[in-house]
Structure 1
Amino acid sequence: MVIRDEDSQPSGARKPRVSAKGEQTRARLLAAARALLAGDGEVPFTTRNVAALGGVTHGMCHYHFQTRTDLIVAVVEAIRPEWITPLEEAVAQPGSFAERAERVVGLLVQPEAGDLDRLHSALHWFALNDERVRESLAAEYLRWRECFVALFQVLADERGGGFDPRALGEAAAAGTDGLAAIQSLDANIDPAPVVRALILGLAAGATAP
């Protein structure tokens, strides 16, 4: 991915967004930023190019996002409902561990919608070079991992304790994330039996620390 930072401006307090038109403009800029981040890299990711793709002036882009980093962090937050919120809801809904685990498996084996996998790859790349992006993305992944910890906490409650739900939750999250990386290289892998074996296998082998 080609990046440039020639159009960054000093960071400061973001101006309040009060009008419906302003919200629409911000949404267009976020959509344009997402498209560039998930693209083939031929168009450099700059606020100037985001503004052009969004059909607004460069100055208006900086009104909403003073720096390129502000824009990337906003994209990180904007995609949360697509991959974290559904998982949180699946774990939080009533049911036994087995019922919640099946809901989680059902979500995890669904193909990522549209450009989400490419977008995550781009965000990881930026996180290597921008501390604010790294912190923002790390916070999102922590929230994602906490879903697995909460799932195994349900199992611990059912069994009256006896093992560390955090260790099992982190293991499940790591395994799931690794599977996603493998799938990005080999689309022929069926994730359903793998994810189910991972989560249920960890549950079956849960022992006291």
Structure 2
Amino acid sequence: MATRANDQTPSPGRPRGSGKGEQTRARLIAAARTLLAGESAGRFTTRNVAALCGLSHGMCHYHFQDRTDLIVAVIEDIRPEWITPLEEAVAGPGRFAERAERVIALLTRPESPDLAHLHAALHWLALNDERVRAGLEEEYRRWRACFVRLFQVLADERADERAEESGREGGGDAELDPRLLGESFAAAVDGLAAFQSLEPELAAEAVLRALMASLAAGA
């Protein structure tokens, strides 16, 4: 790794700069994404990323401590493309059924080839890098939490309905476990995605609708 020229090197615990420095950092992340999505992850290096940007290798290490630091930045950078829309779909207005419709629409939307390749590369890198694995785990926890929150909406609706019938105040359905239902649905979605990569003609939307309806009805 190149030696840093001064004492101003950003580190994970320090605030990032602004202006030109942020633009350079964004360029390096974009180049890293391009390389990870288009080449073997095993050949990914900070030197190649810097070269793609037309920057010095030392400049790359000014912004990122090492190769893993850059990969973790890529993991965070793709969050708005697959997790944030799901969070917004669940947090948006409407009852459980409406929110579930928005979620299923997102889950069955075709993933771009670049993002699919990028996810595959990141999973491969996580096999041999603890920090990359930890970064991915954190993102998947956030992704799974969306489904837990969705089923929490259902639990609250059921509680309110029972409260209206009995004249008591609601507050959550003790018989419905949002975490169990949400985690179960998330696991099914993850497995379905892997299966669909081998069987593209699989009717994923129909499968997800049936699963969502079964979990809601069974609960």
Assess same fold via TM > 0.5. yes
Structure 1 residue ranges without an equivalent (≥5): 1-6
Query: Residue 38 of structure 1 aligns to a residue in which SS?
Result: helix
Q: Which amino acid aligns with 1:199?
A: M
Aligned CA RMSD, in angstroms, stands at 2.0
Q: Which amino acid aligns with 2:194?
A: A
CA deviation after TM superposition for structure 1 residue 22, in Å: 1.4
Query: Residue 188 of structure 1 aligns to a residue in which SS?
Result: coil
1:64-143 matches, within 5 Å, as 64-143=63-142
| Maintained 8 Å contact 2:126/2:133 | yes
Cα offsets for 1:173-204 (capped at 9, x unmatched):
00011111112222222321111111121111
The equivalent residue for 1:3 is: none
| Maintained 8 Å contact 1:8/1:47 | no
Rounded Cα–Cα distance in structure 2 between residues aligned with 1:126 and 1:12: 24
The equivalent residue for 1:178 is: 191
| Maintained 8 Å contact 1:8/1:68 | no
| Maintained 8 Å contact 1:38/1:122 | yes
Rounded Cα–Cα distance in structure 2 between residues aligned with 1:8 and 1:134: 25
CA deviation after TM superposition for structure 1 residue 124, in Å: 1.0
1:151-162 matches, within 5 Å, as 151-160=150-159, 161=173, 162=175
Q: TM-score, normalised by structure 1?
A: 0.89
Alignment pair present for 1:26 and 2:39: no
> Relative to structure 2, which stretch is displaced further, 92-101 or 16-25?
16-25
Number of residue-to-residue matches in the alignment: 200
Rounded Cα–Cα distance in structure 2 between residues aligned with 1:168 and 1:130: 31
**Which of the two has higher C-alpha Rg?**
2
CA deviation after TM superposition for structure 1 residue 18, in Å: 2.6
Rounded Cα–Cα distance in structure 2 between residues aligned with 1:186 and 1:63: 44
Cα offsets for 1:29-54 (capped at 9, x unmatched):
11111111111318810000111112
| Maintained 8 Å contact 2:125/2:132 | yes
Q: Which amino acid aligns with 1:67?
A: D
| Maintained 8 Å contact 2:10/2:16 | no
Q: Which amino acid aligns with 1:150?
A: R
| Maintained 8 Å contact 1:8/1:66 | no
Going from structure 1 to structure 2, the CA distance change for 1:20 and 1:188 (only over 3 Å counts) comes to same
Rounded Cα–Cα distance in structure 1 between residues aligned with 2:135 and 2:57: 25
1:4-43 matches, within 5 Å, as 7=1, 13=11, 17-41=16-40
Rounded Cα–Cα distance in structure 1 between residues aligned with 2:58 and 2:3: 11
The equivalent residue for 1:190 is: 203
Rounded Cα–Cα distance in structure 1 between residues aligned with 2:3 and 2:208: 45
- More helix, by proportion: 2
Going from structure 1 to structure 2, the CA distance change for 1:9 and 1:74 (only over 3 Å counts) comes to farther
Query: Residue 94 of structure 2 aligns to a residue in which SS?
Result: coil
Going from structure 1 to structure 2, the CA distance change for 1:176 and 1:42 (only over 3 Å counts) comes to closer
Query: Residue 195 of structure 2 aligns to a residue in which SS?
Result: helix
Rounded Cα–Cα distance in structure 1 between residues aligned with 2:133 and 2:36: 15
| Maintained 8 Å contact 2:10/2:62 | no
CA deviation after TM superposition for structure 1 residue 120, in Å: 0.9
Rounded Cα–Cα distance in structure 2 between residues aligned with 1:110 and 1:152: 21
| Maintained 8 Å contact 2:127/2:133 | yes
CA deviation after TM superposition for structure 1 residue 66, in Å: 1.6
CA deviation after TM superposition for structure 1 residue 158, in Å: 0.9
Structure 2 residue ranges without an equivalent (≥5): 160-172
